[in-house]
Chains A and B, each alone.
Chain A
C-alpha cells in the first residue's frame, strides 16, 4: 500500500489552538496543500489577522506578517507593491474584514490590487468570546446581541462579498463552505483559482469560506456543519459572485 494522504510540507507539524471542529484549521491545511502543489512556497507572503487566526504564523511554514485588526488588505497592498512577483494573500475573519477593515478591503478591490483575500466567515467574533459580527444572522444570539440579532436593533447582516463583486477591480469573488467533504474540495479549488487569478495578474480575488465556530455557536461540531447548510448558506449563498477573469481557468484537480 502507498501513502495517499499525509500532512502537507508547509503546515508545521505542531498541534494547533483551534477549537474542535473549527473551520480555520481546515482552511490552513488547504492553503498549505496549494502552496506546495502550485510550487509557490518561496514567493508566498501571508498577512495574518487579529482574531482566532492571529497565530497563523505558528502553522504556516512560509513568510507571514501580522497586521493590525482590519488592516490586512492595506498591509498586503504594501507588500505586493514592493514584491510584484510574490503571491500575497491576506487571511481575515468576518470582524477583521467586514467591520473594522471594511474601508481597506473595499479600496484594495477598487484599486484592483493583485492580492488574494481569504475571508473566513463564521458569523461571530471567535477570539474575543462570541460577540456579534457584521455577518451574524438575524435571530442568531451573540454576547453583544443576547436576544438575538434583530433588524431594528442591530441591522441586517452585511454581505460584503456581494458589495465587493460590484467593484470593477474585483476579478474573482467566490463563496464556499467547509462544512462537508464536497465543500472542502470546492473551497480548495476556489482558493486555487483565486491564487491563479493573482499569478495571472487579473486583479483582486477573494474567497469567502463559510466556516464552523462550534464553541461560540454553542453547537457540537456536526451540528455546526448542519447550521451552515440550514441557515448560513441560505443567507450567504455559496457560488461565484463575480468572475471577470480573462485568461482560461485551470480545470479542477483532484
Chain B
C-alpha cells in the first residue's frame, strides 16, 4: 500500500482511476494527455475493463454517458480544444444527473494553441462551458500525488452527487514524473438504484434531460441548484501555506501554486511575510477562506498561467476589500520560482512598509 511508484502524471491519474473502479475509458489522442489513453489501452483490459479510442472527443463523451447510465464508473480525458468539444456532453450529463469523470490536461490556447501546460480553461471549467444552469465540480491538483488522489476522489464525488466531476490538470503535471503512492483498489462500488440495465423485475425507466413543460423544467433546475448548494457546503477543499502572519497573500492553483510556494520560500528568507491560499476545489470555490483572510491581510497577488481568469473569483470573494494584483503568463511559458519571487517582492516593497 505504501509502495512508491515513479510515474508521470498522466499514467498516475489513469492508474488511480483504475483503482477507483473505473472500467470504461473512452478518449481520443491529443497532446499533452496521450499517455492517459495509452495507459488505459494497455491496462484496462487486464482488469476486465473496456478501452475505446473513439472517433472524436464528441463521440467519447457520449460513450461515457452511455456507460454511466448503466451504473458503470466511466471516464474520459482530453486537453483544452478537446474539452471544448465535450461541453455538450457535460451539459447532458449534468441535466440527466449522471456521474462521470473528465480530465482536462490544459494546454496553451486559444484555438489550436500549443502543447505546453497552461491554466487557461478555468472559466470553461468552473463557469460551465456548456449550455444551461449547471455546475461541474472542478478539482485542481498541484502534484502528481495529488493528481492521483483527486482522480480517485473524483469517482466517489461523481457517484455521490450524480454529477460530472472535472480534474483540471495542466501539461506540466501530466508530463512530470514524481513518486506516487496509490490507495488500495476500491473494494465495493456504491449501489445505484437509478440505472438503466434492462427492466427486469421492475418498471421500465428512462433517462433524459428534455423537459418541455416549463414548470417541471424550472423545478428540475432548482433541484439541481439545491444539489450544487449541498456540494458547496460540504466539498470545498483548499490549502493555506504560511498564511498566519502574512501581510501579502498569493492566491494560485495547480502548477502555479507549486511555483508560488517555491517563490514564497525564497522571499521568506528575506523576511517578507508572504503566504499562499491554494484552492483545490475551483468549483465550489473557497471564497470564505479568502474573505476571512481579508480581515487581516490587505494585499492579494493572484498568479495564474493565463491572462486572468481565477482573479475574478478572488475579486468576488474579496467583495471590495483589500488590493488585488495580477501576475499572469498565458500561452504556455512556465516561470521559475525565482522569477515569481521577484514579482512578489517587487509588489511587496511597493505596497507594504517594513
CB pair B59 A61 closer than 8 Å = no
CB pair B198 A78 closer than 8 Å = no
Is A199 on the interface with B (CB-CB < 8 A)? no
Chain B positions within 8 Å of A106 at CB level: 55
CB pair A79 B69 closer than 8 Å = yes
Query: Interface 1/0s, chain A 55-76, versus B by CB < 8 A?
Result: 1010011111111100100111
Query: Interface 1/0s, chain B 66-92, versus A by CB < 8 A?
Result: 111111101000000000000011001
Chain A positions within 8 Å of B26 at CB level: 78
* Chain A stretch 21-66: residues in CB contact (< 8 A) with chain B: 41-45, 47-48, 54-55, 57, 60-66
Q: Residue on B with the closest CB to A64? A: B206
CB pair B198 A83 closer than 8 Å = yes
CB pair B52 A111 closer than 8 Å = yes
Q: B64, B65, B199, B205: which contacts A41 (Cβ < 8 A)?
A: B199
Say how far A189's CB is from chain B's closest CB, in angstroms: 24
Q: Count how many chain B residues have C-beta atoms less than 8 Å from C-beta atoms of the other chain.
A: 39
Is A107 on the interface with B (CB-CB < 8 A)? yes
A44 to B197, CA, bound (A): 8
Q: A48, A61, A66, A83: which contacts B70 (Cβ < 8 A)?
A: A83
Is A77 on the interface with B (CB-CB < 8 A)? yes
Is A218 on the interface with B (CB-CB < 8 A)? no
Q: B60, B65, B72, B201: which contacts A67 (Cβ < 8 A)?
A: B65
A47 to B200, CA, bound (A): 18
CB pair A78 B199 closer than 8 Å = no
Chain A positions within 8 Å of B181 at CB level: none
CB pair B55 A75 closer than 8 Å = no
* Chain A stretch 78-97: residues in CB contact (< 8 A) with chain B: 78-83, 86
CB pair B204 A86 closer than 8 Å = no
Asked, given contacts A78-B65, A79-B66, A82-B24, whether A65 binds B208 with beta carbons under 8 Å apart, the answer is yes
Chain A positions within 8 Å of B225 at CB level: none
CB pair B204 A61 closer than 8 Å = yes
Q: A43, A48, A67, A111: which contacts B198 (Cβ < 8 A)?
A: A43
A205 to B159, CA, bound (A): 33
Is B54 on the interface with A (CB-CB < 8 A)? yes
Chain A positions within 8 Å of B92 at CB level: 66, 68
Q: Count how many chain A residues have C-beta atoms less than 8 Å from C-beta atoms of the other chain.
A: 36
Say how far B209's CB is from chain A's closest CB, in angstroms: 6
Chain B positions within 8 Å of A54 at CB level: 210
CB pair B209 A66 closer than 8 Å = yes
Asked, given contacts A57-B208, A64-B206, A78-B26, whether A45 binds B196 with beta carbons under 8 Å apart, the answer is yes
A182 to B63, CA, bound (A): 37
Chain B positions within 8 Å of A66 at CB level: 92, 96, 206-210
Is B56 on the interface with A (CB-CB < 8 A)? yes
Is A145 on the interface with B (CB-CB < 8 A)? no
Query: Interface 1/0s, chain A 5-31, versus B by CB < 8 A?
Result: 000000000000000000000000000
A155 to B149, CA, bound (A): 53
Q: How many A-B residue pairs have CB under 8 A?
A: 130
Chain A positions within 8 Å of B207 at CB level: 64-66
Asked, given contacts A63-B204, A81-B52, A82-B24, whether A74 binds B63 with beta carbons under 8 Å apart, the answer is yes
Say how far B208's CB is from chain A's closest CB, in angstroms: 4
Chain A positions within 8 Å of B24 at CB level: 78, 81-82
**Which of A42, A62, A71, A78 has most chain B Cβ within 10 Å?**
A78
A48 to B24, CA, bound (A): 22
If over half of A's interface residues share one DSSP class (helix, strand or loop), that class is named, otherwise mixed; here it is mixed
Asked, given contacts A42-B200, A60-B204, whether A74 binds B66 with beta carbons under 8 Å apart, the answer is yes
Chain A positions within 8 Å of B204 at CB level: 60-64
Is B62 on the interface with A (CB-CB < 8 A)? yes
CB pair B72 A82 closer than 8 Å = yes
Is B289 on the interface with A (CB-CB < 8 A)? no
Is B309 on the interface with A (CB-CB < 8 A)? no
**Which of A48, A64, A82 has most chain B Cβ within 10 Å?**
A82
* Chain B stretch 189-226: residues in CB contact (< 8 A) with chain A: 196-201, 204-210
Chain A positions within 8 Å of B209 at CB level: 66
Is B58 on the interface with A (CB-CB < 8 A)? yes
Is B242 on the interface with A (CB-CB < 8 A)? no
Is B50 on the interface with A (CB-CB < 8 A)? yes
Is A99 on the interface with B (CB-CB < 8 A)? no
Asked, given contacts A64-B204, A81-B67, whether A71 binds B96 with beta carbons under 8 Å apart, the answer is no
Is A167 on the interface with B (CB-CB < 8 A)? no
Say how far A89's CB is from chain B's closest CB, in angstroms: 12
CB pair A82 B59 closer than 8 Å = no
Chain A positions within 8 Å of B206 at CB level: 48, 57, 63-66
Chain A positions within 8 Å of B69 at CB level: 65, 75, 78-79
A69 to B281, CA, bound (A): 32
Name 9 interchain pairs, CB-CB below 8 A, sorted by A. A45-B197, A64-B196, A64-B204, A64-B207, A65-B206, A66-B206, A78-B66, A79-B70, A103-B55
Cβ-closest 3 pairs across A and B: A78-B66, A57-B206, A66-B208
Known: A47-B66, A66-B92, A74-B58. 10 other contacts (CB 8 A): A43-B200, A45-B198, A54-B210, A62-B204, A65-B69, A67-B62, A78-B26, A78-B65, A81-B63, A104-B55
